[in-house]
Structures are given as C-alpha cells and as structure tokens.
Amino acid sequence: MMIVSSFADLLALLTILICLLHRCGANYEVESVDGSGNLLSAKLTLVGGTTQFGPDVKQLNLTASLETDNQLHVRITDADHQRWEVPQDVIPRPEPALEDVLLHSSGMSNASLPGSSTMSSESSDLTFTIHTAPFRFTVSRRSTGDVLFDISATLVFKNRYLEVTSALPAKGASLYELGEQTKRTFRLQQNDTFTIWNEDLERSDLLDINLYSSHPFYMDVRPGGAAHGVLLLNTNGMDIKYGGSYITYKVIGGVLDFYFFAGPSPLAVVDQYTQLIGRPAPMPYWSFGFHQCRYGYKNVADLEGVVAGYAKAKIPLESIWSDIDYMDGYQDFTLDPVNYPAKLLRPFVDRLHNSSQKYVVIIDPAIKKEAAPPQNEAVGLFLQRNGTNYVGRVWPGEVYYPDFMNPRTAEYWARKISEFRRTIPADGLWCDMNEPSNFKAWEPLNEYDDSPYRINNTGIHRNLNNKTVPVSAVHFNGVSEYDAHNLYGLLESRATHDALLKDTARRPFVLSRATFVGSGRYTAHWTGDNAARWDELAHSINTILNSGLFGIPMMGADICGFNGNTTQELCSRWIQLGAFYPFARAHAEKTTVRRELYVWEPTAQSARKALGMRYRMLPYIYTLMFEAHTTGAPIARPLFFSYPQDADTYGVDRQFLLGRGVLVSPVLEAGATTVDAYFPAGRWFSLHDHSPAITLQTGKRVTLPAPTDSANVHLAGGNILPLQQPGLTTSATRQSEFHLLVALAENGTARGELFLDDGESPEMGGMGGNWTLVRFSCNTEDSKGIITTTVSSHVVQNSYAPSQTLVIGKVIFMGLPSPPKGFTVYVNGVELKAAGTKSRTNGVFSVSGLSLVIGQQFEIKVVMSH
C-alpha cells in the first residue's frame, strides 16, 4: 500500500493519477525528412500539446543511423536548445554523422512527404522506418519482418518530462533486465515497473524497488530464439512500465537516445551491447577465490583469528576484507589507532601476502569536512551547492563529496589512495555508499529539487533528494546532480580503478555498490545488503544474471546473508550456491551471529566440497573471464543463452549456467530433499562423480536428490573442461597439474578452450601480451565396428605457457560408447602401453600419467573395437 507522508507527496500522487486518466501527451508531425546511405534525419513540429509537467518543446530533431551492421542509433532532441546527454568521455561513442548538414539540407517538405521513409542496408538485419502521418517510427528485423520497436503517435517532449511508448507483441516477447531491482522472476512479468534512480536502500525487505544501480537496457527474446537489445542511454531518473503488449518510458530530463542491437543470438546481443558501452574489465586471477568479510571485525586479532579458522578447517580463503571498522572515526584513508594501528595491521597484511592471500578494504566517497584539503587547494574538488562545497552527513559526520567529473578530483583521489597504500598495501578497494548516500535532511534550493513528474522513487514517489546529495548540487562545468546523479558510482569506480592501476601497475580489483551503463569497464558489483533468508537466496540468481547481461559479469551476493541471523542449514545451502557465483564473498552485519564457514561443521563440509569444485574449475572460470573481456559474454548465464530455441528455458531462474555448459541446480528451500531442475535436450553428466546422469531427446524437468552437503552441478555433453587440483589459495591451485574433462555429445564431439596469463597484468589477451590460448576439440569416427575418439589441441597463442611448467597429466572421457571388447590409446601417434595409465569405471574412461605440455599441440586417440 502506498504511504503518503506529506502534502507534497499527496500532490505528486494526484498529479500522476491525473496524467494516467487524461493522456499527458502531444503529437508531432514530420516537417521534413532527408537521408543518405546509413543515415536518416527528420524535423518534427509540435501539433497541439499540453501544459501538464510544463510546456512542450516545439521543434525536435530526429536522427537515425546504422552505426554498424548490428547497431542502430535513434536520437530525438530539442532542435533549438542543447540538452544534457551522457558525456563522450564517460561512454565514448560515434557522433551522429552529417547531422547538421542533413537537417538543414533541401529534404522533402511536409507537403511532398510520403507516408513513410525507410532506411536499411543489405548488410544489416535492422530496418528503420519513419511514419509521417501521424509521426511514429518502427524498427524491424529485415530477414523476418518482425517488428522490434514501434513507438506510438503520442510523443511527449518537455524540458523535464519525456514520454514514449512502444508496442510489443501481445504474446511471444520475453523481456529481461532493466534495473537494478530485486525481482521474483528473471523474465519480466506483465505490469512490472522499474524506477531508474540510484538509491541507498536496505534492500532485504524490498521487491520491485529501485536500488543502487541504473541500467535502462533490456533484451527481448522472440519465439524461435531470435534476440535483440534496446538501450535508452539517459542518466536522468525515469519510470519504465512493461505492460506485456507495450513498454512505456517516462523520463525527467535529457534526450531520447535509443540504441538497438540486432543479435540475433543472446550472446550476440551482449557482444554488440558491450562493444558500445565498453567491454568488462579483466579481473585479477586471485579475485576468483573465496573472500571473507564482516562489518564488525573488532581488531587485527579478530582478522587473524578468522584467517586461522579457515586454515584449521582446510577451507579455501583467498582474501580477508575490512569494512569501516578499520578506520579512525570512519574516515577514508585512516586507521583506528587502537584496534587497527599500522604497527599491527601492516605485519598482518605482509603475512597474508607471504601466504599468497590478499587484503581488501572499504572506502566511501565522502571526505570528512575537517580532513579536506585547504580551501585554496580544494577549489573544484567537491560538489557545490549555492556557490560553496555542499556539506552532507554520513558515517564520519559532516562531509564533502568528491566531484569525480573534475579531472583534478581523480588526481586527488589517486594521490590519497597511493598515500594510504604506502602504509597498508591493500590489494583491492571496495567502493560503498556511492549512490551517493547522504544522511542529512535537505532544504529546497531551486526547481531541480522537486521535479514536476515524481518518479516512483523507493516505491512511494519519494523526492529525488531522499538519502542522497540534493539534486540541485552542481558538478564540474556546471552539470547538475539532477542530470548526473546516476553517474556518480561509475565515475568513482573509474577514478578508483585508474588510481590502483597507476599505483600498482597491476590489474585492479574494484567492487562498487552503485553502477550505471558501462560500469563493467572498471568494477565488479554485488547485490548489496541482502538478508539471511531463503527467498533472498533464491532472488540472488536473478540479480546476478541481470548483472551479467548489463556488462558486469563479476557479480555476487553476500553468502549466508548480510542482515539478520542465519542458520546452519541456510548457510550450508548458500555456500553450495555461492561457490558458483562469479564473485564469491561471505559478508555479514556486525550485530548478527558469526557465520564464517567453519563455525558449523556441516557448513564447513559443504564449503570444502563446493569451494573445492570451484577451485578445481578455476582454469575454466578464468577462461570465461577472458571471454567476457573480449566478447562481453556473461560468466553466469541464463539457460536460454545456450539453448535459445528451447522456449522452456526462457522462464528458468532457479538454475543457471557457468559459461556454455556447466549447469548449477541449487537447493533454495528449507528442508528440501529434492530439487526440481530443468534439463535441455542432450547428455548431462554429474560433475561430482562424472556419472551419465541424464540423457534427453527433448528438454524436461527432472527431480534430483538434494544431498545435504552439495548442490547438483552437471556438465552438458559437447564440452571440454580444463581443470586443476584444488588448493587453499588460487596460487596453490595454479601450480598443480591440469586435467581435461571431455564430455561427449551424442554425436561424439566436444570442444573447449583454456586461457592462461600471469593473472595480474593490466591487459588480458592484448596484442603483444604475454598469454596463452589453447582450443581443444574432440571427434568420433566409426569405421566397421572400430570406433576412434580423438582429442586434439590447437594453440592460438603461446607466449605465457613456455615460461611455466604447465602440463596436462590426465584426460577423462565421459560418454564413450558401451564397453568395448578392447581399446588402444595413442598419444601423439605412439601407443600408450604403460600399466595403470588407462582405466574405465562406470562408463568413465581415463588416461593418466601424461605429461602434455600446455602450449604444445597434441593428439590423443582412443581406438575401441566392438
């Protein structure tokens, strides 16, 4: 139920209801159209109009350009006044070519206009059509005629209110993403609404409420599996409603700046999307280990005890994290002189490093007022309001907010980080509270402090200034916080990433709570302050899948829950799932019961098994990071990414894939002894015992047993996984020998790849870099009862492996034909005769005792007679 807490809120609610009852729109007619090649432009003139939310803009410019064969850009803006748009230095992108020339050239006037004008290219599957009577535009797929986007004739364009609606197929469109929100389902449901406004909320009790990040992007999957993407590149606050047969945008500023991505596969959509917004940043190898944090670790001795507890329990621990407890009075770049003095903390961090472990600390963006540079040095470093530094309030008390739009502020930030790291060489930085959060009450200053249209902020149409910097604050070059609010987290992430890169010359690790389109170039992300509840465990899958599609693949949730007391069963089930999050970290609030994974022995057992499998799969997961960095492909993926033609996968959101073929089917309910899991057609092998668990001609739901100490994890036939032997750190794991796990499809084929580098060089797989990429393939031939299965490698690049002692010691085949009369193994053409090197158990055939050097091509043949 909506709560109206003030007269202003009541007025805003009445305004919204009036607008819903009486169409708050205007019509535009097309005055002229011109085009050349892959660019079309038009001038629109207002017809009619209303005064609701302010006067309408009288003339608009529209440009449509095919910027690539797979990317269509449609931009509508004020013809007479420049408006706020996402700065080019934040998201570099093509400028509309020849716009001014075309808009003022001798195009067709209104009197001679045809009913529609179309722009298309033989090399593109996207077609743009502008309709003139009345104005609207459509985007369609040229190969099928399928209409992807079709705006209604009612277009609203005011100074601080824009509205546009697109029709969608009444049946058949499956939409995903838009956010950030906690959702019950991954696929959007009819009448889902999304408010785009970065907000500091305790998210644990909130569904369908705007949270820390803003991503006005969605993917639409149509029957048969053809997918496309739609981005509205706009940083202003907005409401988006998905009505099943339509989608409506209500935006409080900026321009209508749409990008359409042709796909047609889901993977192609994210590839095209991240080509525009920026590829995901490569993450250091160590960041794929397991991380432990708690708000409330009292002192250095507490940290030492946690590290020792993990070692004693033989549970992998890659890094220990500090929340604001380590600070002096909660001030950035300081140490508590009693509980975290440098004389104790620095030796502790040095011991971590000597054990190949890491240390990560939190930093909040706000700087305590008294700790800011002198006024003569601080000019322009902080957000301004009413001509002076804006003073807010968060954990340290009264604070200033760095203005990360100003290049000088990024330099200041880098200097502070470097100075702090001279004392405590933290390996990564965790950017929290960067929506930005503010505890101080606000007073109105100007028109920006109360927008004429109230977006549904926090679900009850709260003012934009709720728990944040007032939107009348001003950034560098006079940019208002009203326009740039949703960029704050991205800009801090960029400054932090660049500072770490400069200070360490190594690949940075940054974790940010607030994100926007393109944040994945700089940072990892997590779901924020979740709760220790079963529904939160389930919801984490949807949020993590969304993040991957947004271009931020390094994503996780606080394992075992942050707020509230957890239980042994919930914590055990959470690590069974969380071990397969791309980013795996346990974190808890200081008043809750301790929940490190060794506290309960059943949880410790679950952790050893789940994290043991994660660490064994690290070569595969790290190779997925390389794929994400080079193509945008998510690490954790919905099932329809691999099976887009199977419509039954479109609604699966209690399972997910790691990469192409590792299927995770966790327990998400208390007391469960079985799991109802969906399996697409094909062969599926258990990764726990390599058994051929399931073979299906068509996809179906299967009831699986749910042992108390592990989640169901399966590998799809047709995949080859590179594995290593699990250690207690990623460093120890990287020194072990490799195994290849070959899961044959029914036709006897499989493929996979392995990417290797030092795990910390700034670039990943760049030209001239020091890295190795090997592709593996497997084929099977049947000739007169003699079946030959051949695994071979193809070395794409090999500038890293030669410097290391890296060998494949074992190859395991799953899915070979029924037991043969006899078999012979050839390694690089030489028969393998040594005893104990070949074995077959329960349909699994293994060849061990090998010493195949990574980076050198090889061939293994298994010849079987029947």
State the catalytic residues: 432, 435, 529
Q: How many Cβ atoms are within 10 Å of 220's Cβ, its own excluded?
A: 23
Q: For residues 639 and 267, give the distance between their C-alpha atoms in angstroms, rounded to a whole number.
A: 12
DSSP type of residue 657:
E
Q: For residues 754 and 733, give the distance between their C-alpha atoms in angstroms, rounded to a whole number.
A: 15
Q: For residues 720 and 715, give the distance between their C-alpha atoms in angstroms, rounded to a whole number.
A: 9
Q: How far is CA 532 from CA 186, 488, 652, 831, in A?
A: 21, 29, 23, 56
Q: For residues 643 and 662, give the distance between their C-alpha atoms in angstroms, rounded to a whole number.
A: 13
Using CB atoms within 10 Å of the CB of residue 790, give its burial: 0 to 12 exposed, 13 to 18 middle, 19+ buried: middle
Residue 126: beta bridge partners? 141
Cα radius of gyration rounded to whole Å, the chain = 28
DSSP SS3 for 802: helix
In one-letter notation, the amino acid at residue 87 is: P
Q: For residues 150 and 129, give the distance between their C-alpha atoms in angstroms, rounded to a whole number.
A: 10
CB of 74 within 8 A of CB of 258?
yes
DSSP type of residue 239:
E
How do strand 116-119 and strand 319-322 relate by DSSP bridges? Answer: unpaired
Residue closest to 617 by CA, chosen among 655, 581, 670, 564: 581
Q: For residues 676 and 555, give the distance between their C-alpha atoms in angstroms, rounded to a whole number.
A: 25
Euclidean distance between the first and the last CA atom of the chain, given in angstroms as a whole number:
70
CB of 459 within 8 A of CB of 451?
no
Q: For residues 316 and 613, give the distance between their C-alpha atoms in angstroms, rounded to a whole number.
A: 11
Using CB atoms within 10 Å of the CB of residue 190, give its burial: 0 to 12 exposed, 13 to 18 middle, 19+ buried: exposed
Q: For residues 428 and 359, give the distance between their C-alpha atoms in angstroms, rounded to a whole number.
A: 7
Q: How many Cβ atoms are within 10 Å of 3's Cβ, its own excluded?
A: 8
In one-letter notation, the amino acid at residue 125 is: D
Q: How many Cβ atoms are within 10 Å of 52's Cβ, its own excluded?
A: 20
Q: For the chain, percent helix, then strand, then coil, each to nearest 5?
A: 25, 30, 45
In one-letter notation, the amino acid at residue 401 is: Y
CA atoms within 13 A on the CB side of 588: 22
Q: For residues 273 and 550, give the distance between their C-alpha atoms in angstroms, rounded to a whole number.
A: 9
Helix and strand totals (H; E) in the chain: 13, 52
Q: For residues 253 and 728, give the distance between their C-alpha atoms in angstroms, rounded to a whole number.
A: 51
Q: For residues 435 and 468, give the distance between their C-alpha atoms in angstroms, rounded to a whole number.
A: 7
Q: Where does 392-466 have alpha helices with state H?
A: 407-423
Q: For residues 185 and 207, give the distance between their C-alpha atoms in angstroms, rounded to a whole number.
A: 11
Q: For residues 196 and 179, give the distance between their C-alpha atoms in angstroms, rounded to a whole number.
A: 7
Q: Match 């502020």 to its residue by tokens.
A: 409
Q: For residues 576 and 675, give the distance between their C-alpha atoms in angstroms, rounded to a whole number.
A: 13
User: 629: which residues sit within 8 A by CB, 6+ positions away?
Assistant: 279, 280, 281, 282, 764, 765
